[in-house]
Amino acid sequence: SFMKKRPYVTLDPNVLRGVPCHTGTHIPLATTFDSLAAGVSVKTLLIAHPMLRVEAIQAAFAYAAELAS
């Protein structure tokens, strides 16, 4: 299943009403995508949100790609 392959993404109705977010945070994946689309670097994003890891951002993109296919 998706969640076994992507442990960095959480979809929980008790967390942000089920909005996909980075596991262990209340940071929606959309916030990450919006920041990166606005030109914020991954390095800056990781500094601003030290609980995130590069793998979490990669998993967010993998999740988005799966939804888009």
Q: Output the pLDDT for position 60.
A: 92
Lookup: tokens for 65: 């790609």
Distance CA 61, CA 63 (A): 5
Instruction: Determine the 3-state secondary structure of 39 from DSSP.
Output: coil
pTM confidence score: 0.84
Q: Which residue has the tokens 């299943």?
A: 1
Q: Output the pLDDT for position 5.
A: 58
| pLDDT tens readout for residues 32-62 | 999 999 999 999 999 999 999 999 999 999 9
Q: Output the pLDDT for position 6.
A: 72
Q: Which parts of the chain are beta strand (E)?
A: 9-10, 21-22
Distance CA 21, CA 10 (A): 5
State the average pLDDT over residues 3-31: 87
1 has pLDDT over 50: no
The CB density around residue 33, as the number of other CB atoms within 10 Å, is 14
